[in-house]
A and B are shown apart, each in its own frame.
Chain A
């Protein structure tokens, strides 16, 4: 009984997914057609630069942010200085801040450097998001410190220590964080809407939100194509999700 209920519930959860795919092939009078797809792919050329932008932003942000968050989480664990705990609590609070609070400071910061309406306006603030730092820090607390200690006898280069002693231990967490950050960037809507003016810089998520502006029934096929990259990544990395995310006592 419980089993059936759970399976039914799970089906409700996948339903919207299935429906998107099914309905994307629906033509007039409930016929099956590829018309929607050909409208999208051959009549709506703004789709391509916007798709490319989504790919570019998501990949660049996901990769570059590791250069910031791995050293940062490592620093939080190993450095000893006054105010470290308060600084970390600040990161937690910043992580919890809704976009509507952070987006205005982000905007002002970007405007002052003159980056509004460029690719960087999307990439730079996302790289410094505190989410990855907090998640990595939680994970690193459970890793084996003796490897790092042993490595310190051999080299004084902290970069080598991070590459050879830290990263191999946190691989699972890197996959989990990467999946999360990628999906988050892929879904971005507010930032491209507010930081960018030209359509040619915007993302697929903006395209879908305004799809009825461009042509007929292209919204659903666009949504299907939109889902594919994230679902593929999910397929390969989801086994790391649970082990890579350890949130318990934060501070």
Chain B
């Protein structure tokens, strides 16, 4: 009994370094960010309620940034997931010989963003829409989705698949009714991961537009908004927009986890 407790304490101690780091670099400062979002400025520090939030939400650039960030989620993420699914299906069931191609699709993920963005500029010079950035995002993120999906497909019990095939189910029905639903938890995870990564394409976008803080309107995302406030040292609007963005991500992730849990039962 005593040994059991001792072991448990030791296991808990293993968590401590990570917890301390998270506390120092995230949790404690995040509480301060929350505090900043409710005061008027760094010096007077008087409480202003939701003023900063109202100001941020009614700021025209914040609205533009939010709209563009959501557009990526609505347009680019579904294209990404569906094409990753089709490629994974082809590589897992159709043309197994080409499985080695998986590694090619992963390459963009590990290739330095900076060099990719440079070439993109050459390809798409003169295109005046957010489309090149969407493509850059898909190009960059499809690899991890394919890896996770093919890994999940290989875990499917082959006998179910064969039985359905012998029953005369055609390929399309086979996949839509059996294989794809079976890896639903993984698909939900890739959707979640892609949504989160869509918030992260600032780097790609920033380099694509040649290191400017003011890209064309269609590509001005939340990240630009926050980056610019960072450079202006405008802590109040930065804090408010950081809190708003974190709430948005929190809702998306919790939603995803709940859907995933539902699928398991």
Contact = CB atoms under 8 A, between A and B. Distances in A.
Given A14-B107, A68-B21, A227-B115, A89 B257 contact: yes
Interface in A73-96: 74-76, 78-81, 89, 92-94, 96
Interface string B1-19: 0000011101111110110
B131 interface: no
B196 A2 contact: no
A150 interface: no
A75 to B, nearest CB: 3
B104 A128 contact: no
B12 A75 contact: yes
Interface string B217-230: 00000110011001
B18 A101 contact: no
Contacts of A81: 8, 12
A101 B200 CA distance: 10
B114 interface: yes
A40 interface: no
A128 B119 CA distance: 33
Contacts of A243: 151
- Chief secondary structure at chain A's binding surface: helix
A231 B104 CA distance: 12
Contacts of B202: 99-100, 190
B71 interface: no
Nearest to A237: B110
Interface residues of B, number: 89
Nearest to B32: A108
Nearest to B201: A98
Interface stretch (A27-35, A44-52, A167-175, A181-189): A181-189
Given A81-B12, A98-B200, A242-B102, A183 B109 contact: yes
Contact of A128 (B10, B18, B193, B242): B18
Contact of A234 (B8, B110, B151): B110
Interface string A8-23: 0110011111011001
B30 to A, nearest CB: 4
Contacts of B226: 100, 104
A102 B27 CA distance: 10
A67 B242 CA distance: 30
Contacts of B103: 238, 241
Contacts of B30: 105
Given A93-B253, A105-B25, A226 B98 contact: no
Contact of A251 (B102, B242, B246, B261): B261
A74 B12 CA distance: 9
Contacts of B264: 249
A18 to B, nearest CB: 9
Contacts of A165: none
A110 interface: yes
B195 to A, nearest CB: 8
A133 B16 CA distance: 13
Given A94-B26, A231-B110, A251-B261, 20 more contacts: A2-B90, A3-B98, A10-B101, A68-B17, A68-B18, A71-B17, A75-B14, A78-B7, A81-B12, A96-B193, A96-B249, A97-B196, A97-B249, A99-B200, A99-B202, A189-B203, A190-B227, A234-B107, A248-B152, A249-B261
27 contacts: A7-B98, A16-B116, A74-B11, A74-B14, A75-B11, A75-B13, A80-B8, A81-B12, A94-B22, A97-B249, A98-B223, A98-B249, A104-B238, A105-B25, A108-B29, A108-B33, A112-B29, A156-B6, A183-B109, A187-B112, A189-B113, A226-B115, A230-B112, A233-B110, A238-B103, A245-B148, A251-B257
Interface of B: 6-8, 10-15, 17-18, 21-22, 24-30, 32-33, 87, 90-91, 94-95, 98, 101-116, 118-120, 122-123, 139, 144, 147-148, 150-152, 185-186, 189, 192-193, 196, 199-200, 202-203, 206-207, 210-211, 222-223, 226-227, 230, 238-239, 242, 245-246, 249-250, 252-254, 257, 260-261, 264
